[in-house]
């Protein structure tokens, strides 16, 4: 079958699991029928004639098998006994129950990254702005005042949670951008940039070669391998490695995970000469169905004739957008040498920075200003004017 016919074929709809309160069955029934008419495969517990343990086992099996889990949240659902009797937050190291939820602290960390504030500045900001503190989900104390985590509490909890919460947030933001039509991820670029270690004693940093334009030949730190959407100039996925690791092994995992996570179909993949490899080029063409654009690097090739370049000067010049991305992002969010040490801390810092970029882009897109999706200064200035 030709690529044109394959492109015209409709994409398969994701399978859905619908969770709801039995009191909302009269409303959920027509909703499920509308989804089914659109071609969605919906598992609706109300329509299953099973009781007791068999119903529970069937529900657990369907939850694992379905692609999307939808929760119908209503006053009936929030008043359900198993919701009201939810267990308290887990106790901390000292045995006392935790006051602040992980979701609230993650939102505070994202706000701190967006506005480039310190822990103390965020604390003072939330104390002076109770509405924002409540919007972040912070609890209210017995005196009626919102309780705000101190700078030490923010730092300790962020280190304890590690990178997974912020990575999950980043993936959800990219999926939201795909759903809203902000990006289609058709034209992709892969490249890496160095991140300097904050301390020489950083146990996870390594000594690697610096870029050609850098005054020093060797740098101690990390490299962030980024997959960029050329249409929006925003990152779709990234991997972090020590600075002494070669770029080439990261191209295929980045592309494979992006296709699997976001269900995209890239048409062009642009790379530099460091990623040259016949196996990678063949995999991009045969498996992804995309076109690889990268300079010809015939090193380690015994037969150098018969290997034509896979690029032109005009096509290769389009890869420069990722260099501009690294320049504006690393300078604005101070990512050249972040004041953190250790693999998990650096990964969390990079993830929050990339997530902040998507928050800015989504805010500009929803406001009807697509020309500002790569302008954090202007978007944040408009947000601040709207608040005032």
**What tens digit of pLDDT does each residue of 47-73 get?**
544 454 566 677 777 777 787 877 777
Distance, CA of 118 to CA of 386 (rounded, Å): 23
Residue 185 in this model has a pLDDT that exceeds 50: yes
* Cα distances (angstroms) measured from residue 145 to each of 108, 152, 299: 18, 20, 66
Distance, CA of 379 to CA of 109 (rounded, Å): 19
Q: Provide the sign of the torsion angle of the four alpha carbons 68, 74, 80, 85, taken in this order.
A: positive
Residue partners of 10: CB distance under 8 A and separation at least 6: none
Distance, CA of 388 to CA of 386 (rounded, Å): 6
Q: Which residue has 């919701």 as its token pair?
A: 83
Start-to-end CA span in the chain (Å):
58
Distance, CA of 300 to CA of 293 (rounded, Å): 20
Domains and CATH numbers, the chain: 12-84 (3.40.50.450), 102-161 (no CATH), 164-381 (no CATH)
**What tens digit of pLDDT does each residue of 202-252 get?**
989 998 887 766 677 788 999 999 999 999 999 999 999 999 988 889 999
Q: Binning pLDDT at 50, 70 and 90, where does residue 388 land?
A: very low
Q: Which residue has 């990964």 as its token pair?
A: 347
Cα 101 versus chain centre, distance: 21
Which residues face 268 on adjacent strands? 187, 291
Q: Which residue has 């308290």 as its token pair?
A: 88
* Cα distances (angstroms) measured from residue 95 to each of 90, 99, 120, 157, 195: 9, 12, 26, 16, 38
Distance, CA of 384 to CA of 369 (rounded, Å): 16
3-state secondary structure of 187: strand
Kindly report whether the global pTM for this prediction surpasses the value 0.75: no
């Amino acid at each position: 079958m030709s690529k044109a016919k394959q492109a015209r074929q409709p994409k398969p709809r994701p399978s859905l699991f619908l969770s709801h309160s039995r009191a909302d069955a009269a409303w959920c029934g027509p909703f499920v029928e509308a989804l089914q008419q659109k071609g969605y495969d919906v598992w609706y517990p109300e329509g299953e004639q099973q009781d007791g343990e068999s119903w529970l086992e069937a529900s657990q099996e369907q939850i694992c098998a379905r692609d999307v889990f939808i929760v119908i949240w209503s006053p009936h659902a929030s008043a359900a006994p198993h919701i009201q009797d939810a267990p308290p937050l887990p106790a901390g190291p000292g045995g006392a129950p935790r006051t602040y939820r992980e979701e609230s602290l993650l939102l505070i960390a994202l706000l701190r990254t967006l506005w480039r504030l310190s822990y103390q500045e965020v604390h003072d900001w939330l104390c002076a702005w109770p509405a924002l503190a409540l919007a972040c989900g912070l609890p209210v104390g017995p005196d009626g005042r919102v309780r705000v985590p101190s700078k030490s509490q923010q730092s300790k909890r962020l280190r304890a949670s590690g990178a997974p919460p912020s990575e999950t947030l980043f993936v959800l933001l990219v999926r939201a951008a795909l759903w809203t039509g902000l990006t289609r991820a058709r034209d992709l670029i892969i490249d890496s940039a160095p991140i300097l270690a904050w301390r020489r004693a950083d146990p996870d940093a390594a000594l690697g070669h610096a870029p050609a334009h850098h005054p020093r030949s060797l740098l101690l730190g990390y490299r962030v391998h980024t997959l960029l959407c050329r249409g929006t100039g925003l990152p779709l996925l990234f991997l972090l490695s020590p600075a002494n690791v070669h770029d080439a092994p990261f191209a295929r995992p980045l592309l494979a995970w992006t296709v699997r996570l976001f269900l995209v179909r890239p048409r062009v993949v642009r790379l530099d000469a460091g990623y040259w490899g016949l196996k990678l080029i063949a995999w991009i063409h045969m498996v992804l169905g995309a076109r690889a654009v990268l300079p010809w690097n015939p090193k380690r090739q015994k037969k150098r004739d018969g290997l034509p370049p896979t690029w032109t000067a005009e096509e290769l010049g389009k890869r420069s957008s990722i260099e501009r991305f690294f320049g504006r992002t690393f300078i604005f969010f101070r990512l050249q040498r972040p004041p953190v040490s250790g693999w998990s801390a650096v990964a969390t810092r990079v993830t929050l920075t990339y997530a902040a970029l998507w928050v800015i882009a989504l805010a500009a897109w929803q406001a009807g200003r697509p020309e500002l999706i790569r302008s954090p200064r202007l978007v944040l200035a408009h947000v601040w004017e709207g608040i005032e």
